[in-house]
Amino acid sequence: MATQDIPGDGDAVSAFVKQGVWLFLQWMSLPAFIAGYLVSVAMGLGGEQATQVVFTVTPPIILVFGAGYPLLSLWWVGRHALARRPGDAPGQRLERLLRLPWRAAAATTSVAWGVGGFTFSVIVAWLHQKDAFQVGMGCSVGACFGVLLAFPFALTLERRLLSQVLAEQQRFPEVAPQGSGPFWPRQRWFLPLTSVTSLVLTLLLSGGVLVVKLRVARTLLEAHLRSLGAQDTVGHLDALGQELLRELAFALAWISVLMLVIPALTLWMMARRQARASGAVREAIESLAAGRVTAPAWVSTDEIGDLASGMRAVLRKLAALPLSLRTAASRLGEAGHQLGLVQEAQQGSLARQAIALQEAQATSGEIQHSSRLAADRAEAVLQVAQRAEALGLKGERSVEASLAGLGAIQDAVDGIQARLVALAESASRIGDITASVKDLADQSNVLALNAAIEAARAGEVGRSFSVVAREMRGLANQSVQATDRIRTVLDDLRQGIQGARRMGEEGGQQVSSGLDGVRTSGASLRELLDMSRESAGAARQIAAAVTQQNAGFTQVFTAVTDLSRIMDETLQRAETTRGATHTLQGVSREVDELARQFHEA
């Protein structure tokens, strides 16, 4: 059946194979030379020949069956046991790991030694012309060494795998390893098996070597006696040897039986004793796991007796523990009850505080909204004040310009009035001149009239003079008429100048009044500008104060929000505390029940 290994199994198998091959070489190297020497001796070789054969044939055998074959066999059993299969039940891989050292010993040590002993015997028989019986003796010696060395090799390999076994046990701590069979050692049969097997194999090795050496000695002695011509002596010695062999075989059989039965019985009794002691300790542990404090029914002087004594001391302390547990559970339950009452009161208080915080949060939100509106309005007022200040500055500049314009107008009006006065004076002088011209015209008319009269008196001589007089009178009349018209014009001009003068005076008075009004308006505008500046400064201060107030309300709202969040978390923790309180009360009841069970047990 193919296995699906997870990543990392190949590294574990490689490490296991390297460790196993190295351990096998350690356990095989020196015993292989000893076994080779015994096989050589059992096959009838002398000491010098046996030594030469051992150092010639054994190294290749070790290389092939001590490194090559274990590499393959350990890889096969290691891959089977170390693989993490998707379908493995909890504890199944742990069972394979526990069987692995013994499977590895059976697949490696026994086969390698048996086949290696057979190969060594065949090579020795071929080199020194030995019979098949002696080849069988060589195979037996190799097999005996393989079985003897399988136990220490498996135990050493088990110790090296302990870390992996413990790691696998920690994956499923609730699973207890269970198994049976030859690869699942138990103390009740493993100790007798190893002891009896070792003893039997030792007897077989020593007996086989002894028999072979006796046969070789008998053969050499017979050959020597035949060479001396003592045929009768050879027959007697042969019969004596057969009788001695039968008696020795009978005695050795009984001795072997005694050497096997008595130690086996002793070891079996010791194993039974150890099993009973282990069973007593196991029953005490199982009783403790079931809640019953029961001392192990075992007292002895060995290590298991020490273990039982130590466990009884532990159980005595455990026997006093239930009373302490019940007392502690009672106190714990009372503390849990008090804690529950306090927690309920605290939770009620926290609930009220949470409601108050929610109301405070809503109020702070409204205040924050109002503060934000006030900040917006303060900003609008500040903008209006700034615009009013700007308009005031413009008005002040306009008033100053108006004052300058009105001053110029007043100066112009004063100049016009002065010119009108001068014009009136000129018109008056013209009137005087016109009056003088009129007087002159009147006088000319009178003179012309007189001249006409004189011309009329003169007759023909005065006719030309009368013409001149007539023309002069006409010119005088025209001058008078012109003078009258000029006087009329001058009167109209004088009236116009007087009206213009009066209007100039009234305009000057109005301009003066306008200047006074403008000056008053300028002063008012300056006062208004100062007030606008003061209002703008106050608006700035109000806006800054409202902004700070808004920031403060924002911080207050944030703080209230944080307090509300903290209160929610506190309520959640209070719920957790209440759950922990219920858990504490439940644990106290469980502890009290457990202590009562131990006490009743």
Q: How far apart are CA 65 and CA 126, in angstroms?
A: 20
* pLDDT at residue 249 greater than cutoff 60: no
Question: Do 316 and 284 touch, CB atoms closer than 8 A?
Answer: no
pLDDT, average across residues 128-153: 75
Q: Model confidence over 358-400: pLDDT tens digits?
A: 666 666 666 666 666 666 766 766 676 667 667 667 766 766 6
Each residue of 96-111: b (16+ CB within 10 Å) or e? bbbbbbbbbbbbbbbb
Is residue 67 within a helix (H) or strand (E), and if so which, with residue range? none
Q: Measuring CA to CA, how many Å separate 226 from each of 222, 230, 233, 238, 239?
A: 6, 6, 9, 12, 15
Q: How far apart are CA 332 and CA 587, in angstroms?
A: 9
Question: What is the per-residue burial (b if ≥16 Cβ within 10 Å, else e) of 514-549?
Answer: bbeebeebbeebeebbeebbebbeebeebbeebeeb
- Determine the pLDDT at residue 250: 45
The region of weakest confidence among 231-245, 372-386, 553-567 is: 231-245
Which residue, chain included where needed, has tokens 């004052």? 403
Give dist(CA 498, CA 424) in Å, integer: 8
Residue 370: what residue type?
S
pLDDT confidence bin for 118, thresholds 50/70/90: confident
pLDDT tier for residue 442 given thresholds of 50, 70 and 90: confident
Of 32, 57, 29, which is closest to residue 45 (Cα–Cα)?
57
Q: What residue ranges do the domains of the chain occupy?
A: 1-185, 214-290, 314-600
CA 448 to chain centre: 142
pLDDT (average), residues 191-214: 63
Q: Which two tokens stand for residue 481?
A: 């008429």
Using alpha carbons, select from 541, 533, 513 the residue that is nearest to residue 396. Answer: 533
Options 1.10.1740.10, 1.10.443.10, 3.40.50.300, 1.10.287.950; CATH for 314-600 is 1.10.287.950
Amino acid at the residue 457: R
* CA dist list (Å): 2 to 16, 17, 90, 92, 93: 20, 20, 20, 17, 16
Max Cα distance, the chain (Å): 255
424, 430, 436, 442 alpha-carbon torsion, rounded to 10°? -110
The mean pLDDT of the chain is: 69
At 172 the pLDDT is 80
Give the contacts of 77 (CB within 8 A, at least 6 positions apart). Answer: 100, 103, 104, 107, 108
Mean pLDDT of 457-477: 69
Q: How confident is the model at residue 251 (pLDDT cuts 50, 70, 90)?
A: very low
**Statement: residue 507 has pLDDT above 80:** no
Do 146 and 114 touch, CB atoms closer than 8 A?
yes
Query: Do the Cβ atoms of 458 and 465 come closer than 8 Å?
Result: yes
Provide the pLDDT for residue 601.
Answer: 47
Which of 89-93, 256-260, 327-331 has maximum average pLDDT? 89-93
DSSP string over 126-178? HHHT--HHHHHHHHHHHHHHHHHHHHHHHHHHHHHTHHHHHHHHHHSTTPPP-
Nearest to 25 by CA among 48, 59, 57, 53: 59
Sign of CA dihedral 279, 281, 285, 291: positive
Coil, strand, or helix at residue 473? helix
Mean pLDDT of 255-282: 56
As given in the structure block, the two tokens for residue 381 are 């007022």
Question: How high is the pLDDT of residue 258?
Answer: 41
Residue 143 has pLDDT above 50, yes or no: yes
The span from the CA of 469 to the CA of 262, in Å, is 213
Per-residue pLDDT reduced to its tens digit, 395-406: 667 666 666 766
Residue 261 clears pLDDT 60, i.e. is over it = no
- Cα 578 from Cα 47, distance rounded (Å): 90
